[in-house]
Amino acid sequence: MNVKASTPPIVVTQDCHVLMIEEEEGVRCVLLESPTYSLGRDKKNSIVLPASKAVSRFHAMLLRIPGTNSSGYSYRIVDGDATGKLSTNGVVVNGERTTSHTLVEGDAIMLGNIKASYRLLTLSPSGLSQASIEELDIRSTLPHTFNPNATLSGEQNSRANGHTTPPPEEEELPPTMFFKKAPKKSVSN
């Protein structure tokens, strides 16, 4: 009787680059696959940010660059638009204002007053199809502090005076997942 030892299955994994954006209703997770993305409040951007006077119409760009992870690339965030015009309130990564930064797993990003986080997830094909992102503690990946250097000081005043910007109309976005915020529990004594 000839018995062969079983060979463990080969598990192929894939690095998934994800930008998590905190919005009023919850967290939007954008799967990054394209070589470039524009970010801002204008509807012409590939990633439209929530309407806010602290966010420029064309606030920043994400550029895919060669990297050392298993996907072979990383993303660099660059302040401003494709013509080189910087955003009004800049880009802050991990508490430091920057004009260009190569993103790494867990980077906390502020675009004006919008909180975001960059995640590099290594998933198996079955994990990817099952949307394993839900297992992450998303709140822990977002910046918890607000950097006043990254916003217009008039933003709070305009809100206090009742001036609001209408939200952008629905449009086609890159592959995204959306996680709604849990309803606030009322405290009764």
What is the CATH number for 112? 2.60.200.20
Residue 61: C-alpha distances to residues 47, 77, 91 (Å) = 9, 6, 10
> Which structural domain, as residue segments, surrounds residue 117?
14-122+143-159
| Structural domains of the chain, count | 1
180 within domain boundaries: no
* Cα separation, 10 vs 187, whole angstroms: 51
Residue 144 half-sphere exposure, CB side, CA atoms within 13 Å?
4
The model carries a pTM of 0.65
176 within domain boundaries: no
106 within domain boundaries: yes
* Cα separation, 24 vs 156, whole angstroms: 16
171 within domain boundaries: no
Q: What is the pLDDT of residues 102-130, one digit of tens each?
A: 999 999 999 999 999 999 887 665 554 44
Beta bridge partners of 38: 61
Closest CA to 181 of 128, 153, 148, 142: 142
Q: Which of 6-10, 22-26, 154-158 has the highest mean pLDDT?
A: 22-26
**Could you give the strand order of the β-sheet that contains 60-66, starting from the edge strand earlier in sequence?**
47-48, 36-40, 60-66, 73-79, 100-102
> What is the per-residue pLDDT for 71?
78
> What is the per-residue pLDDT for 77?
98
148 within domain boundaries: yes
> What is the per-residue pLDDT for 24?
84
